[in-house]
Chains A and B, each alone.
Chain A
Amino acid sequence: MARTLTLLPKSIASYSLFRTRNLLPLIGVRFLSSPAKHTLYSYFPLTLPRGPPPAGLFDIDLKALKREYLQAQAKTHPDRALSFHAESQANGNNSAYSTFKENLEQLSAELNKAYQTLISPLSRAEYILSLNGIDTAQEGSKLSDPVFLGEIMEVHEAIEEAQNEEDVELLRSENISRVNETTLLLEKAINMADWNNAKDLVVKLRYWINISNVLKDWEPGMDIGI
């Protein structure tokens, strides 16, 4: 089963800024004096003016975020950015157009990464924790909470035993409640900057979302594991 980890290294935003910071005004982003203060939230100043928690809130307006994202992406189109290039050349910045275009693509990729990371509560939480130096997907880290693992095992076994779409629909609705419940607890923990608790909840949410994905793909007689 393919799994994409959306965890970003702490430095990614500030790292790529070396190449694209001159372009930030193009999408209405003000470059902060300290690159360390630049986060993925900085790409969406209208929707997320307060930045990541605990300054801002964990819950975000996804509709507004999408609108701002699409508008910013449109501005990175080379045709639309031409005048910006001409302007910056007039201001003495004589970077070649090819470099400019490359940096536009880079900016577009950064916007995409920022948006994709922030729309899902799980990857958003992973990112916020990474900003606070906590790696929730550390290679080789262990989970040995027998009660929780026992519950996961039981749910997987129930999916294995499911006979028809009706059984699965029941399991789906049960799991949606678990995902929602865990997300709410995670939101609370993050807004309170309770990182330790948030870390545990991220791991739990990851397990429940895995189960959601298995349930989504369910077909009679499918092989879901052992």
Chain B
Amino acid sequence: MFSRIIARHSIKSAVQSNRARSYHAKVLDHYNNPRNVGSMNKNDTDVGTGLVGAPACGDVMKLQIKVDDNGVISDVKFKTFGCGSAIASSSYVTELVRGMTLEQAGMVKNTTIAKELSLPPVKLHCSMLAEDAIKSAILDYNTKRKTGAPTLGKGAASASA
């Protein structure tokens, strides 16, 4: 474990020494091949939408989850306008929470995201934004469930939409 962290650091510093400002390989991978980009219908009752912003840099992130009858996240989509780290953080989170229960997804911490992507301290807020996005999507879904259709399932979703 320890050696892996050291290895990551050395890659990072090697990359950074080549260019004044550059991203870690994993950030670049998510940036160049973002996973699960797109939108769902925010009016569907089985969809929860999280829309959050980082006032410090003017980034905006939308993350949507589709939840099945068992309370498991079956699909995730995102759209982010911001720096590479913000895009990578949201892209990674979509992969992370797919298949999780809402409870599990609600416990995802920004530190997990930051560690996976080796975000430097100045970019930690990008991982916080991704954590907020998933939390706000879950909240939106739960709020909809309470106030929305009384029965679960796709039929109820389309009836109330």
Contact = CB atoms under 8 A, between A and B. Distances in A.
Nearest to A150: B51
A225 B82 contact: yes
B124 A226 contact: no
B40 to A, nearest CB: 14
B79 A5 contact: no
Given A142-B52, A146-B51, A226 B87 contact: yes
Contacts, number: 81
B36 to A, nearest CB: 10
Interface stretch (B5-13, B55-63, B150-158): B55-63
A143 interface: yes
B81 A225 contact: yes
Contact of B80 (A139, A206, A226): A226
Interface residues of A, number: 30
A140 interface: yes
A55 interface: no
A143 B87 contact: no
Interface of A: 1-3, 5, 136-146, 148-150, 152-153, 156-157, 203, 206-207, 209-210, 224-226
13 contacts: A2-B21, A139-B56, A139-B124, A140-B56, A142-B52, A145-B53, A149-B51, A207-B53, A207-B58, A224-B81, A225-B80, A225-B81, A226-B79
